[in-house]
Amino acid sequence: MVQERSLPVFQADNAAVTREEGLMLYEDMTLGRCFEDKCAEMYYRGKMFGFVHLYNGQEAVSTGVIRALHRDRDYVCSTYRDHVHALSAGVPAREVMAELFGKETGCSKGRGGSMHMFSGEHKLLGGFAFVAEGIPVATGAAFQAKYRREAMGDASADQVAVCFFGDGACNNGQFYECLNMASLWSLPIIYVVENNKWAIGMAHERATSDPEIYKKGPAFGMPGHEVDGMDVLAVRTLAKEAVARARAGEGPTLIEALTYRFRGHSLADPDELRDKAEKEYWFSRDPIQKLASYLTEHQLATPEELKAIDKRIQGVVDDAVEFAENSPEPDPSELRRYIFAED
């Protein structure tokens, strides 16, 4: 069954983007979708191993939030569904694909794989396999930024941290503990719940006493917002407000983005638990097609220009696969390297 919220979500009916901004958002989402489709192909061809969790359908959340940040200094913390977050954060497609192939040229030197993307250069704090594990890490990043700025007088420490997690994580203790601390200390952090309705095979409505997660923000003294996670303009508008608020020292924000994953929980999941009508309903709300329609209807881009972007992005992804296939394996002699910090 398709279940709709009784209250309206935050919309961006009056949101306006320039042609440059619109094309940037379209390109970023297209890269995420094309990359994940290629991951599925490579996984089934035996090029990737272990669990691989794809992001198809949720691109508007990653793009809408991360591309509202300063990618050279703000922090992003992810989950095991982290490939697209890494791409939006600026990690090159080559490095993300090489990591998935377990190669030395990967962003985590082939040690992390699909669920543990990390890039210090791009302020990507990591993908975390355990549910809710990244929430304290992101909260710590926000704390250090505030401490450096206020206690140490570092005026350049105006970073904002963004933490992504799923609806299932909101039933874990770390979520509540960190919201409490972030509110008490007025930390510059945005908690983004990617509510895709399913925690592996458990429907969200069956797993929590109050399915409207955004309401838990005000319970801890911070704004809580519900947003259409299939509309990148709505997500971006709300994210920009939350980022500005955090950077101005006004504290944390909780955003619940209502979205949907188009594939199973992982590529090993036959996806037999979700109702066909539910899936078809969400497929019809494809965020990339929604933005494409907006751009053409508002004469910000032509269909030919969007097709050209599609083709160019496909080339970027194909190049990433070639790079990954031709990259060296990690040297066995360095098996114990990167376990401890190096001088």
pLDDT digits (tens, 9 = 90+) for 93-116: 999 999 999 999 999 999 999 999
Distance of alpha carbon 92 from alpha carbon 34, whole angstroms: 14
Tokens representing residue 104 in the block: 């030395």
Whole-prediction pTM:
0.95
pLDDT at site 5: 57
CA distance 135 to 162: 9
Residue 7 in this model has a pLDDT that exceeds 80: no
Q: What is the distance of C-alpha 34 from the center of its chain?
A: 15
Separation between Cα atoms, residue 219 and residue 60, nearest integer Å: 27
- Per-residue pLDDT averaged across 139-147, rounded? 98
Q: For residue 226, which phi and psi values (nearest 5 degrees)?
A: -105, 130
Query: Is the pLDDT at 208 greater than 50, yes or no?
Result: yes
Sequence-distant (6+) residues with CB within 8 A of 93 are 31, 35, 87, 316, 317, 319, 320
Q: Is residue 6's pLDDT more than 80?
A: no
Closest CA to 227 of 194, 262, 251: 194
Domains detected in the chain: 19-327 (3.40.50.970)
Distances (CA, A) of 139 to 68, 120, 179, 180: 19, 17, 9, 11
Buried b (16+ CB within 10 A) or exposed e, 177-208: ebbebbbebbbbbbbbbbbbbbbeeebbeeeb
The SS3 of residue 247 is: helix
d(CA 116, CA 123): 14
Q: How confident is the model at residue 2 (pLDDT cuts 50, 70, 90)?
A: very low
